[in-house]
Structure 1
Amino acid sequence: MHRGLYRITRGRFGLRRPKAQQWGMFRLTTTGRRSGQSRSVILAYLEDGPNLVTLAMNGWGEAEPAWWLNLQANPDARADLPDGSRLVRCRAAEGAERDRLWQLWRETNADLDAFAARRPTPTAVVVLERRPG
């Protein structure tokens, strides 16, 4: 629904900044790992200082989302936010950083752990760091 709204309104609607206790929405454009073509998806995000943080989930299903598989093959991407675009380099948070960021997501969704338990593998917490360009 968000992708359609974004497309129909040519980016005027469908994205939002995060607020207290509420995640935002942004558009992530990756490079397809097999096709080499641009692929876009609308995702939820939180801010962690200058970085964006999202969760690599596919509707809490078993499979990893295609955008995350694409980023593992090529971590450079573009993030379109309500106030503009930025080039990013993406990586999975690990260890204490992952724990801290997971807790940040828990603050927006009290059922996060229950949803994540539906997946056979841990849900990656993806950090998008600004890159030059």
Structure 2
Amino acid sequence: MSAVTQQQATRRPKGTPGPLSLWFQRQANASTAKKIRRKGGQMMGMDLLVLHTVGRRTGEARENPLAWFDDGAGGRLVVASGGGTRHPGWFANLVAHPDRVAVELHGTGTVPATAHVLDDAERARVWPAIAAAAPTIDKHQRKSDRQYPVVRLVPAGA
């Protein structure tokens, strides 16, 4: 096999993160989660939470800092943008284990939550508020070939 052909055969599919990228993302997530726990969190004017899920293949605990938006009814909305190219890992974990989700906010500790992926009509109703609060997310959504899922997180038992 020629060097070029071998290189092409081992190349990852477009949009698939490599080992260094995954390592960097996990380090950044851990650092941001610590900041949220210590003094709350905001990024680009958006409030942050730490989403706790369980790995769909490994069963290991996962933590992801995410921007959230108030749903006006005691829940929080999160957008599964995943950098635009594909659904993020936390979304796949949440769908695989919807009964093993928790939300952590500064000063409130970790609270078990119920996760609900919004259908098209529900998403259409809340998207204008998300777009107004986070124009960058809306800009990326308009450029993407896929529709970003929106998930409503409600404290369990609420």
Shorter-chain TM-score bucket reads: 0.7 to 0.9
Partner AA of 2:58 in structure 1:
S
Corresponding position of 1:41: 64
8 Å contact from structure 1 (residues 56, 65) kept in 2: yes
Partner AA of 1:121 in structure 2:
R
Change in Cα spacing, 1:44 to 1:106, as seen in structure 2 (3 Å) is same
Structure 1: state its 5+ residue gaps.
17-21
8 Å contact from structure 2 (residues 79, 151) kept in 1: yes
Work out which of the residue numbers 121, 128, 152 in structure 2 matches 1:96. Answer: 121
- Give 1:88-127 correspondences, 5 Å limit: 88-127=113-152
Corresponding position of 2:31: 4
Instruction: Give the % identical residues.
Output: 25
Please identify which structure carries the higher helix content: 2
Whichever of the two has the greater Rg, that structure is 2
8 Å contact from structure 1 (residues 33, 73) kept in 2: yes
In the TM superposition, residue 117 of structure 1 has moved relative to its aligned partner by 2.6
Change in Cα spacing, 1:4 to 1:103, as seen in structure 2 (3 Å) is same
In 2, the alpha carbon distance for the partners of 1:10 and 1:23 equals 12
Partner AA of 1:80 in structure 2:
E
1:64 aligns with 2:87: yes
Change in Cα spacing, 1:3 to 1:106, as seen in structure 2 (3 Å) is same
8 Å contact from structure 1 (residues 5, 14) kept in 2: no
Corresponding position of 1:55: 79
CA deviation profile, 1:3-61 (whole Å, cap 9, x unmatched)? 31433x68213535xxxxx431000010100001100010000111211101001122x
State the superposition RMSD in angstroms.
Answer: 2.2
Corresponding position of 1:19: none
8 Å contact from structure 1 (residues 6, 13) kept in 2: no
Structure 2: state its 5+ residue gaps.
1-27
Corresponding position of 2:53: 30
**TM-score w.r.t. structure 1 length?**
0.82
Q: Number of paired residues?
A: 126
Please identify which structure carries the higher strand content: 1
